[in-house]
Amino acid sequence: MARGVRGPTRRDIIRSAAILPVVAQVRTRAPARAASLPVVIASANMKSPTESGGLNAVRKAWEILAAGGDPVDAVVSGVNLVENDPDDVTVGYGGIPNEEGVVQLDASVMDGRTMKAGAVGALERIKNPSKVARLVMERTNRVFVVGEGALKFAKAHGFAEENLLTERSRKIWLYWKEKLSGKDDWMPAGNEEEKDPDIRWYIEKYGVEDFRPQGTINCDAVTASGDIVGTTTTCGLFFKIPGRLGDSPVIGAGLYVDNDVGACGSTGWGEGNLRSCGSHTVVEMMRQGKSPEEAALKTLERIVAFAKDNRESSGRPKFQTVFYAVNKRGEYAGASVYDGAYGSTGRFSRAKFAVADSSGARLLETAYLFKKEKPSR
């Protein structure tokens, strides 16, 4: 065990009770996750109970690293698989649009070797924002380009504009808009609409109560020689205010890399993470000797403590946030506020993350602060 790294003590748990609205029931410690380099970690991005986009991403990235490829190529190529996949409606092509029906994408990339970073926000009509963020990092002396400027920058680099709104995402957006209020001109088509396979797909995956879920992919890698990189890419909060940026493209919130220490990225409630500079905080805690899992859980506690505006009446958090953290030795963790979520059919999905190293690509369960209670129906 590294110097200064220890498991949570009774005092930790009592201390956490002082800052959390409700005592975290669990601070699970996963069995020690042994390091073997190169290693790649990512969010799970489950397409179905058995299919994970994150697993495809870490597998692809690890193969590039194992063949001696560039680590930024590795993580960006990994997440491109998910950006290109219309069945992942949280990222890239086919992403859920903003409140006006326009897909706006955000992404960030950071390279520990140079400590340079690039990011784009509210980028329209370009399906691989992670590639554009990489070019901001490599081909400008700036970090963050948004909106129309980001589109012009992408086009200057030869990216083709395309319609990112798939029929499925358009129908989901229209359904949301029609059901939003009885005080406007838009009316739902009733049961017929809910029989549409695309609407059913959405309701089964995300439920109707929380009709504004969100999602993202984060992917981080440590090479055989200990160099560290990461990327985060998303369509952001579903049906967001046009121009709204979450944590994903913000360096320090949705992604942070330090070549001496490690990397961290996030998925989940972006505003809470923005207010806590979460990924940077996790990396700083790892620098001070905490394991990736301890650092991620401690930072989640801070987000929960700050989230006075996003709690159930019982005081429990009303949101999910997940950190994916890896240190220079290749030790890694996924850690979440809740242990998982209940779908509309009452089926519980355990929160997971994806890892690839010399033992192969696999999904592992996250450590977590709270157990999700089954909703009463």
Q: Which stretch binds ligand ASP (CB under 6 A): 173-181, 214-222, 294-302, 355-363?
A: 214-222
Using CB under 6 A as the binding rule, whether residue 220 contacts ligand ASP is answered as no
How many other CB atoms are found less than 10 A from the CB of residue 291? 24
Using CB under 6 A as the binding rule, whether residue 236 contacts ligand ASP is answered as yes
The answer to whether the beta carbons of residues 223 and 61 sit under 8 Å apart is no
The sign one gets for the Cα dihedral 56, 62, 66, 68 is positive
Angle at the Cα of 332 (from 330 to 335), degrees rounded to 5? 165
Using CB under 6 A as the binding rule, whether residue 279 contacts ligand ASP is answered as no
Using CB under 6 A as the binding rule, whether residue 58 contacts ligand ASP is answered as no
What does each C-alpha distance from 259 to 59, 115, 230, 333 come to in angstroms?
22, 7, 11, 17
Catalytic residue chosen out of the listed positions 90, 216, 232, 281: 216
Least CB distance to ligand ASP at residue 241 (A): 12
Contact with ligand ASP (CB under 6 A): which of 214, 223, 279, 336?
A: 214
The answer to whether the beta carbons of residues 136 and 278 sit under 8 Å apart is no
Contact with ligand ASP (CB under 6 A): which of 233, 267, 299, 366?
A: 267
What does each C-alpha distance from 134 to 180, 224, 321 come to in angstroms?
37, 22, 25
Q: Which stretch binds ligand ASP (CB under 6 A): 148-156, 240-248, 358-366, 367-375?
A: 240-248
Nearer to ligand ASP, 105 or 126 (CB): 105
The strand pairing partners of 41, in sequence order, are 220, 355
Q: In the annotation, is 216 catalytic?
A: yes
Nearer to ligand ASP, 16 or 234 (CB): 234
Residue nearest to ligand ASP (CB): 270
R_g of the chain computed on alpha carbons: 20
Which residues sit at the interface with ligand ASP, rule CB under 6 A? 214-216, 234, 236-237, 246-248, 267-268, 270
